[in-house]
Chain A
Amino acid sequence: MNAPTLLSSCARAATAAEARYRIDYPNSRARSSRIVALDDEAAAIMRRIEDDVWGDTHFLTFRARHPAPGIAALSIDATLARPDGGETRLSAELAGADVVVMIASSGAGIEACFVRNIMTAGLIVSRDRADPDVERAVRALRPYAAVLVIAADEEFVPAMLHALRA
């Protein structure tokens, strides 16, 4: 039976009055997010937003890369620093992560840490799109991030993280 319940059911269903009857419940579980600053400038941007209200979100700074033998999802493993100065491994952080956002700036020295099986975004913050370091960052991140954003202002960082329910 293909007929709708009522003729013009869309007309009724799309009204503001009917919107009141949408079921009110949390339609997603909390996401576990890992925000990884890949260079010093990105780390500084990240530090400025760490004290906002976040969910299960770990703010981490890239320190050094390591081979990742036997970890299928990773091209490399890495040492990451927590805000308190303690260290952790990328491979450990990714276990249970739903979203990874990598933040870079126009600063040099990107040695990105990548994962293929998690929702991954790369965010490059730079006012100067013509800076060759930006191009280097774009090239480094492009193969791995489902989306790359090149933003001129760092206010976009918290806007993006909140939009992704970090």
Chain B
Amino acid sequence: MLRKDVNDLLTQTGTGTAMGDLFRQYWMPALLAEELPENDCPPVRVKLMSERLVAFRDSEGRYGLIDEFCAHRGVSLWFGRNEEGGLRCPYHGWKYDYTGQCIEVPSEPEESGFCSKIKLKNYPLIKVGDILWTHMGDPENRPPKPEWEFATVPPEQTFTSKRWQECNWLQAMEGGIDSSHVSWLHSGALVSDPLFKGARGNKYNQGDKRPFFEVVDADGGLFIGARRNAEDGKYYWRITPWVMPSFTMIPPRGDHPVHGHFWVPIDDENCWAWSFDYHPVRALTRDERKAMQDGYGVHVKYTPGTYRPLANKDNDYLIDRAAQKRGETYSGVEGIAMQDASLQESMGPIVDRTKENLVSTDNGIIMARHRLRKAAVALRDKGETPPGVDPAHHKVRSASVVLPPDQAFVDACKEDLTVRPGVKQSSV
């Protein structure tokens, strides 16, 4: 359980909040690059950490992420005309460049210089991999660019999607470090999902539903090892890295691509679940990429024209009680991502953690909350840069391995848990 004041601290990410300030230390995913596919394409509404913004790509290919609303009369610039080096408000023609600087106020004499006095709030927007990233904190403390492996391998080796999740970021993220639910909620997917099935490790998951856990502090966050019984007294370990504030990776299965997530607050009651798949040493096959596009693995099928999942709370997640009864899905909801999201959304927009009854195997979650609270308070009170800002902390991998019983995963798998360019992931 958490006290209400701590729950509030961890779940509120608007401007001026402790956790909001923490998130603003990092480069965070803002949009898929495909959302701004060409110069002068339509602008896109973006809401991040309770700030309403609009993104656009100008005539020279520069990305802008600026306050959504025109400084004149408060019109949404989503209606703007993206043309000739800026975004023009359609109401009275005020025009802004990619930095938010007003560059034209047609009603005023050009020589008056009036427009130079108008500037909208803006944040940088940079492309790394398939993603446009932003840093919403102090420009003077802007960290180096993100160096996550999934975003820096060649494009043919990686695939990223995002989906709207209708709950607070923390309860969504906590699912990403809760390895014990896999043997239950996702048990059907281990047999049927094309991006999961067929791995030798799956039988250990299915054969031992009471994993033991080891949680180890790491420089950037945590490593959470889930241990299940394998043959000959050995242990099957699934090791999940969590890097602050909200990056998680799923331990791999066989030679399938490696998956993971970024959990990014939209506001306090909604978040983006960014989902990636990549292979460190080979291109994704056509079948793998198609499976990802079709919503398998950690991805979803969309409501056409949106990033909202097709199965969502407005249609009761298309729950299929017959499939549940047949054992094809454990909860009746199809697809790994929506199996998680449906349950996390059912907790309510912000789960009341004063009511929960954690058990010892929830220690990964307990430790993550502790690290987040501590980092947020240290930033607020002492100005300390939090873990995970340093790109060296980005160079982690998940792993699944079989080890002798006397070996600690964190020692035996030191190399496996570190990005090694050109070296395959460690996976069973």
Contacts and interface: CB of A to CB of B under 8 A. Distances in A.
B358 interface: yes
Contacts of A135: 408, 411
B361 to A, nearest CB: 5
A2 B323 CA distance: 12
Contact of A9 (B215, B316, B342, B348): B316
Contact of B357 (A9, A14, A162, A165): A165
B73 interface: no
A14 B348 contact: yes
B1 interface: yes
A72 interface: no
A74 interface: no
Interface stretch (A39-47, A80-88, A106-114, A152-160): A152-160
Chain B interface: which size bin?
A: 35 or more
Given A16-B348, A156-B367, A163 B2 contact: yes
A142 B166 CA distance: 38
Interface in B1-34: 1-3
Contacts of A121: 360, 363
B217 A152 contact: yes
B215 A149 contact: yes
A1 B367 CA distance: 43
A146 B212 contact: yes
A10 B349 CA distance: 12
B121 to A, nearest CB: 28
Contacts of B272: none
Interface string A137-156: 01100110111111111011
Nearest to A149: B215
Contacts of B348: 14-16, 18-19, 22
B1 A8 contact: no
Nearest to B408: A138
A156 B372 CA distance: 12
Nearest to A13: B346
A4 interface: yes
A32 interface: no
A73 interface: no
A92 interface: no
Given A145-B212, A148-B213, A156-B370, A14 B166 contact: yes
Contacts of B347: 14
Contact of B313 (A10, A119, A159): A10
B310 interface: no
Chain A interface: which size bin?
A: 35 or more
A164 interface: yes
B411 to A, nearest CB: 7
Contact of B349 (A16, A160, A165): A16
Interface string B127-147: 000000000000000000000
With a 10 A CB-CB cut-off, give which of A4, A9, A99, A129 has the most chain B CB atoms: A129
Nearest to B365: A163
A147 B213 contact: yes
B367 A149 contact: yes
A121 B321 CA distance: 37
B125 to A, nearest CB: 31
B148 interface: no
A150 B224 CA distance: 10
Interface of A: 2, 4, 7-11, 13-16, 18-19, 22, 27-28, 99, 101, 119-121, 129, 135, 138-139, 142-143, 145-153, 155-156, 159-160, 162-165
19 contacts: A4-B316, A10-B314, A14-B348, A22-B355, A27-B355, A28-B357, A138-B214, A147-B214, A147-B363, A149-B363, A150-B215, A150-B216, A150-B410, A153-B374, A159-B373, A163-B1, A163-B2, A163-B362, A165-B358
Interface of B: 1-3, 166-167, 212-217, 269, 313-317, 321-322, 342, 345-350, 352, 355, 357-363, 366-367, 369-370, 373-374, 405-406, 408, 410-411
Given A14-B347, A16-B269, A162-B3, 9 more contacts: A7-B316, A22-B348, A129-B410, A142-B214, A147-B215, A149-B367, A160-B363, A164-B360, A165-B357
